[in-house]
Amino acid sequence: MPGRSTPPQRNPQEEQRFLDLINTACPKFGCAPLKADPKLTETAPAQDLAGNPNLTAAVASGYPL
């Protein structure tokens, strides 16, 4: 969010759940499973990607990204 001064708290369990949800769709599209990247894991909370309800809902519903 614009104007946010501190990044949200990381939640490793939610991060793994999010990655697992994405990886359940990978075989449907002939893709290899994704692996967490430590640099991105540290950067993502500042971008609040994992907390984006639209993106999370899209992955959970099986919407192709």
- Write down the pTM of the prediction: 0.52
Does 24 reside within a domain? yes
Give the structural domain span for 22: 12-60
How many domains does the chain contain in total?
1
- For position 6, what pLDDT does the model report? 65
Does 4 reside within a domain? no
What is the mean pLDDT of each successive set of 10 residues along the chain, which is 65 residues long? 61 87 92 87 64 58 57
50-55: Cβ within 8 A, 24+ apart: 50/11, 50/14, 50/15, 50/18, 51/8
- For position 23, what pLDDT does the model report? 94
- For position 39, what pLDDT does the model report? 84
- For position 30, what pLDDT does the model report? 94
Does 5 reside within a domain? no
- For position 10, what pLDDT does the model report? 76
